[in-house]
Amino acid sequence: MIKHKPLYQAMKDAVSQTLENMVFMEVTEHYDQSYEIPAEELTWAYLVIQDPVQAEVRLALPKTLLEDLTTTVFSLEAEEITQAQMDDILHELLNTITGLFMTRLLEDNQTYKIGLPERGEGELPEVDADSIAWKLMTSDEAPLQIFVAGASLVALSDSAE
Amino acid sequence: MKRIIIADDSATARMFIRRCLEIIGLGDAEIVEAEHGKEALAAAKEKPTDLLLTDLNMPVMDGETLVKWVKSSPKLCDLPIVVITSAGNPAKEAQLLELGAHQVINKPVSPPVMLAALEQFIKE
């Protein structure tokens, strides 16, 4: 059995620390948990957790927010940023969130293995019984969503919370 | 002038590390950027290097393999290595230190954390 800490708190801490440190942004829970980012505005990436559970973490946000983050981080004007830079920031945010999430979730003596972030294509996969969604927003009310999918990881949310 | 290699597949991460180095007073060092371990290893073999900062999770050659290669090379084995990773926890950190890494820092990296990790290196 995998010894772990509360899943929700682990993700909340990971997201807050990553966004505050990397893009100087605070997030809170979105006031409308049924809100979906419109497909034409959506950009997302995913990363596979390989061990000790098999799961996927997805980070989704509107393209306009990603453009804002890219101009801030790279100190560039909006017309100067490239798709590669935007993808890179999205991937690094997801990579850092997932690493911190796993570090906070698992006991200190438990190692883990995660894959490399990939750009998501098309619509986000549906949130089913084996998924958890966290719908957040920035202080400017821009939406930002995190999903974890995978029965073995989601099952951990019951045993400690 | 010190020579520092930053190995990370993310341009964003390399830029953050570079900025941290500038803030803690290493802005005049020669910084060499590598997108994966193999590139970093080639850069380390090319010219004498003072410090290697590496991510763990990279394509082509990951950070753990890079640490093993550097530490098993008679020419490079004295090169100090600091692992900067989002995939670190105390168990992983112990593994990496045993392999020969000098320090392990968790992402997101910040100047105070970088300064604490590189204090000795800056003094030398």
Terminal Cα-to-Cα distance of chain A (whole angstroms):
16
pLDDT digits (tens, 9 = 90+) for B40-70: 999 999 999 999 999 999 999 999 999 999 9
CB < 8 Å to A96, chain B: 86, 107-108
What pTM value is reported for the model?
0.89
pLDDT mean over A131-137: 92
Q: Domain residues for A108?
A: 5-159
CATH number at residue A101: 3.40.1550.10
Q: What is the 3-state secondary structure (H, E, C) of chain B?
A: CCEEEEECCCHHHHHHHHHHHHHHHHCCCEEEEECCHHHHHHHHHHCCCCEEEECCCCCCCCHHHHHHHHHHCCCCCCCCEEEEECCCCHHHHHHHHHHCCCEEEECCCCHHHHHHHHHHHHHC
Of A17, A73, A110, the CB nearest to B91: A110
Residue bearing the bigger pLDDT, A160 or B35:
B35
Give yes or no for residue B15 having a pLDDT over 70: yes
Question: With an 8 Å Cβ cutoff, is A69 touching chain B?
Answer: no
Residues whose CB is less than 8 angstroms from the CB of residue A39 and which lie 6 or more positions away in sequence, other chains included: A123
According to the model, what pLDDT value does residue A160 have? 47
Q: In this prediction, what percent of chain B has a pLDDT beyond 70? A: 100
pLDDT digits (tens, 9 = 90+) for B2-13: 999 999 999 999
CA B29 vs. chain centroid, Å, equals 14
pLDDT mean over B111-118: 88
pLDDT mean over B101-113: 90
Give yes or no for residue A136 having a pLDDT over 80: yes
According to the model, what pLDDT value does residue B123 have? 72
* A2 confidence band (pLDDT: 50, 70, 90): low
pLDDT digits (tens, 9 = 90+) for A47-84: 999 999 999 999 999 999 999 999 988 889 999 999 99
According to the model, what pLDDT value does residue A155 have? 82
* B17 confidence band (pLDDT: 50, 70, 90): very high
Chain A closest CA to B75's CA: distance in Å?
Answer: 31
Question: With an 8 Å Cβ cutoff, is A3 touching chain B?
Answer: no
- Contact: B108, A106; criterion CB under 8 Å: no
Beta bridge partners of A145: A60, A135
**Interface predicted TM-score of the whole assembly (ipTM), two decimals:** 0.85
Domains and CATH numbers, chain B: 3-123 (3.40.50.2300)
Chain B closest CA to A113's CA: distance in Å?
Answer: 7
According to the model, what pLDDT value does residue A71 have? 93
What domain count does chain A have?
Answer: 1
